[in-house]
Amino acid sequence: QKEVEQNSGPLSVPEGAIASLNCTYSDRGSQSFFWYRQYSGKSPELIMSIYSNGDKEDGRFTAQLNKASQYVSLLIRDSQPSDSATYLCAVNPAQGAQKLVFGQGTRLTINP
Partner 1 sequence: DTGVSQDPRHKITKRGQNVTFRCDPISEHNRLYWYRQTLGQGPEFLTYFQNEAQLEKSRLLSDRFSAERPKGSFSTLEIQRTEQGDSAMYLCASSVGTGADTQYFGPGTRLTVL
Residue ranges in contact with partner 1 by CB under 8 A: 4, 8, 32, 34, 36, 42-46, 49, 51, 88, 90, 92, 96-105
Q: How far is the CB of 17 from partner 1 (least distance, A)?
A: 25
Closer of 10 and 14 to partner 1 (Cβ): 10
Closer of 16 and 59 to partner 1 (Cβ): 59
Q: How far is the CB of 100 from partner 1 (least distance, A)?
A: 6
Q: How far is CA 51 from CA 64, 95, 111, in A?
A: 10, 16, 32
CA 105, CA 85: separation in Å to the nearest integer? Answer: 10
Closer of 1 and 43 to partner 1 (Cβ): 43
Q: How far is the CB of 107 from partner 1 (least distance, A)?
A: 9
End-to-end CA distance of the chain: 36
CB 92 within 8 A of CB 105: no
Helix (H, G, I), strand (E, B) or coil at 85: strand
